[in-house]
């Protein structure tokens, strides 16, 4: 996105020709960019939590199972609330919910910086999860409002902001928190305050322009799937989301432990490898949306899962250099599916942007949380290296893509 395209008036012209006949309207690049930047700040804060797991494990003498429970508490709290937030705001728009939710996240940061026991860590994780639950469905709605019909491009731009934040978070944690201890978590309050300022700007745009834009796009939306088609699509999406986010959770929560055990790396060295993986995830996410606008959502989903399978199967047997190469390739290819899955679901159930976005992000957090807890239990029982070997078969579940109904009418 360049500043030349950041035009916020009705005379703005899209910077690229429309990919489909739906793509008639103004692409508000500045608003999509602000939504992506807010997503970066939000997910930077969220990524800090798993990044301090090694420190918390030592400081509080936690097991892998207890680490998994902290991740589960955060992610399930977020996942359970997100669909309800989206459903409610579909019928009763609450633009100020965005900055309000970030204030809850700020409170969670303070609790995490001052927690003195395992139960307090669980409470802090839950509060951060509540803040995340209010952010994702509403910010995704704003990105769709500003898309001008280029839904995949807007969604991937929004999502890549989150992935970039997830990649930067571990680096900031390694530089700020790990050397100075748990109280240094409070520095992330600055990111939360910056996000509140950005979200207030997005709220102002939504109140003055956003809902009119969404109604205009709604006049050109597709018919959607039948009830049976929606049920079939939901089942397949759940399978695909399970494969994707359990495998991603393995890297997000346990890649540092894997590198430390298998290659005897230190915490800060392993955080650099985690950054490489998460940066690749950000790049792949950005590419997935525009490509999906041009070649179709299902084609991107096919490539995302089956394209990554050989690299996933090879990873447990690679040396340190090839582990970095394979992990970055896995992040690049597999991450391209999420924007395609979100837009596919929005097309399958038109008119329910908040509900669908909440369900998709809720599934992402819920599956990731359950996966993190389950993987932690397996790691305690069999070792983290063994877990990586078993999980390498997960991308093969992408074969379920064959059963996704077509949303093209």
Separation between Cα atoms, residue 322 and residue 186, nearest integer Å = 36
Which pLDDT score, from 0 to 100, does residue 21 have? 37
Spell out, as residue ranges, where the chain has pLDDT lower than 70: 1-27, 210-224, 350-358, 361-366, 369, 407-409
pLDDT tens by residue, 183-237: 999 999 999 999 999 999 998 888 887 555 555 554 455 556 777 888 888 888 8
Which pLDDT score, from 0 to 100, does residue 341 have? 81
Domains delineated in the chain: 27-403 (1.20.1250.20)
Which pLDDT score, from 0 to 100, does residue 190 have? 95
Whether 277 and 328 have beta carbons less than 8 Å apart is answered as yes
Which pLDDT score, from 0 to 100, does residue 357 have? 67
Which pLDDT score, from 0 to 100, does residue 1 have? 39
Separation between Cα atoms, residue 64 and residue 54, nearest integer Å = 10
Which pLDDT score, from 0 to 100, does residue 121 have? 93
Which pLDDT score, from 0 to 100, does residue 11 have? 37
Tokens 């769709």 found at:
144
Q: What's the Rg (C-alpha) of the chain?
A: 20
Which pLDDT score, from 0 to 100, does residue 368 have? 72
Which pLDDT score, from 0 to 100, does residue 396 have? 92
Q: What angle do CA 300, 132, 328 make, to 5 degrees?
A: 40
Whether 360 and 205 have beta carbons less than 8 Å apart is answered as no
* Phi, psi angles (nearest 5°) of residue 26: -95, 125
pLDDT tens by residue, 1-42: 343 333 333 333 333 334 333 334 566 778 888 999 999 999
Which pLDDT score, from 0 to 100, does residue 124 have? 94
Encode the chain in three state secondary structure: CCHHHCCCCCCCCCCCCCCCCCCCCCCCHHHHHHHHHHHHHHHHHHHHHHHCHHHHHHHCCCCHHHHHHHHHHHHHHHHHHHHHHHHHHHHCCCCCHHHHHHHHHHHHHHHHHHCCCHHHHHHHHHHHHHHHHHHHHHHHHHHHHCCCCCHHHHHHHHHHHHHHHHHHHHHHHHHHHHHHCHHHHHHHHHHHHHHHHHHHHHHHHHHHHHHHHHHHHHCCCCCCCCHHHHHHHHHHHHHHHHHHHHHHHHHHHHHHHHHHHHHCCCHHHHHHHHHHHHHHHHHHHHHHHHHHHHHCHHHHHHHHHHCCHHHHHHHHHCCHHHHHHHHHHHHHHHCCHHHHHHHHHHHHCCCCHHHHHHHHHHHHHHHHHHHHHHHHHHHHHHCHHHHHHHHCCHHHHHHHHHHCCCCCC
Separation between Cα atoms, residue 384 and residue 376, nearest integer Å = 8
């Amino acid at each position: 996105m360049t500043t030349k395209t950041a035009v916020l008036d009705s005379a703005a012209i899209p910077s690229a020709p429309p990919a489909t006949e739906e793509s008639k309207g103004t692409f508000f690049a500045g608003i999509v960019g602000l939504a992506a930047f807010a997503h970066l700040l939000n997910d930077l804060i969220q990524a800090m939590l798993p990044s301090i797991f090694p420190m918390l494990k030592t400081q509080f003498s936690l097991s892998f199972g207890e680490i998994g429970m902290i991740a589960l508490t955060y992610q399930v709290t977020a996942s359970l609330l997100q669909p309800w937030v989206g459903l409610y705001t579909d019928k009763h728009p609450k633009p100020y919910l965005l900055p309000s939710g970030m204030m809850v996240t700020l409170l969670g940061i303070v609790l995490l910086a001052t927690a003195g026991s395992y139960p307090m860590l669980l409470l802090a994780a839950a509060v951060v999860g509540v803040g995340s639950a209010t952010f994702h469905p509403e910010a995704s709605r704003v990105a769709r409002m500003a898309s001008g019909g280029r839904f995949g491009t807007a969604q991937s731009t929004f999502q890549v902001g989150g992935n970039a934040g997830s990649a930067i978070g571990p680096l900031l944690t390694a530089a700020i928190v790990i050397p100075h201890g748990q109280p240094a978590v409070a520095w992330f309050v600055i990111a939360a305050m910056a996000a509140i300022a950005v979200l207030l700007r997005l709220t102002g745009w939504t109140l003055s322009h956003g809902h009119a834009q969404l109604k205009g796009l709604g006049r050109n939306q597709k018919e959607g799937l039948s009830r049976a088609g929606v049920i079939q699509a939901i089942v397949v999406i759940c399978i695909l989301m399970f494969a994707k986010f359990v495998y991603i959770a393995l890297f997000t929560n346990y890649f540092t432990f894997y590198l430390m055990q298998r290659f005897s790396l230190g915490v800060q060295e392993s955080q650099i490898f985690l950054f490489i993986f998460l940066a690749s995830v950000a790049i792949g996410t950005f590419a997935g949306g525009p490509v999906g606008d041009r070649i179709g959502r299902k084609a991107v989903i096919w490539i995302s899962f089956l394209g990554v399978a050989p690299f996933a199967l090879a990873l447990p047997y690679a040396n340190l250099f090839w582990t970095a190469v394979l992990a970055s390739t896995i992040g690049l290819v597999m991450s391209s599916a999420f924007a395609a899955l979100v837009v596919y679901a929005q097309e399958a159930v038109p008119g329910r942007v908040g509900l669908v976005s909440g369900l998709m992000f809720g599934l992402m957090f819920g599956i990731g949380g359950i996966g993190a807890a389950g993987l932690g239990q397996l790691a305690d029982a069999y070792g983290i290296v063994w877990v990586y070997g078993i999980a390498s078969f997960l991308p093969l579940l992408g074969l379920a893509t064959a059963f996704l109904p077509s949303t093209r009418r």
